Structure 1
Amino acid sequence: MSGLLTVVIRVLLGLFTLVLVLALVGVAIVTMIGLMIWSLLRGRKPVVDMARFRRAGKFRPGQSRRAEPAGEVVDVEAREVKSPLPRLDT
């Protein structure tokens, strides 16, 4: 009896999770469509940046790109720039 109850609870939790995920996807799609319609009504072309999705698809956790050398380091001389207007200290 205990095993059957455990299986029923797991199935119900799985179904609730599935419904929650589908509801969130639905909200995301409705929001995206609403924002596209809103931008069209305001006379602006909706921008869909697919390059960002492609870059995110290539990301692999744990892989880090090696930093490129910064090139030649140039030493600069620091100098104070005087303001032509007087400062107002409060």
Structure 2
Amino acid sequence: MSGTHRPCGTSYGSPTPGTAGPDLLQAVIDGYGRPLTPEEEAQLTVSSVLDAVSDISYGTAHGDPELVERDQRTLARLRTEQHP
């Protein structure tokens, strides 16, 4: 969506761990040089949830249904991963 600006620190239009898929997440972990600790994995989940909620709020306020739908899918996937 051209012409829209998100506040500094947000990830509008960029993949997040919640949306990027396993290949990109594995590349991040490989680049980090070690597996994530359980605490880091929990923080990654929390960050993904917060990012998705922020994107849903932004997308709703700015008429971006694709952003809203993408992050609703992210939340649904994260919920499923936490409660298989």
**TM-score, normalised with respect to structure 1:** 0.33
| Structure whose residues are more often helix by fraction | 2
**TM-score, normalised with respect to structure 2:** 0.35
Larger Rg: 1
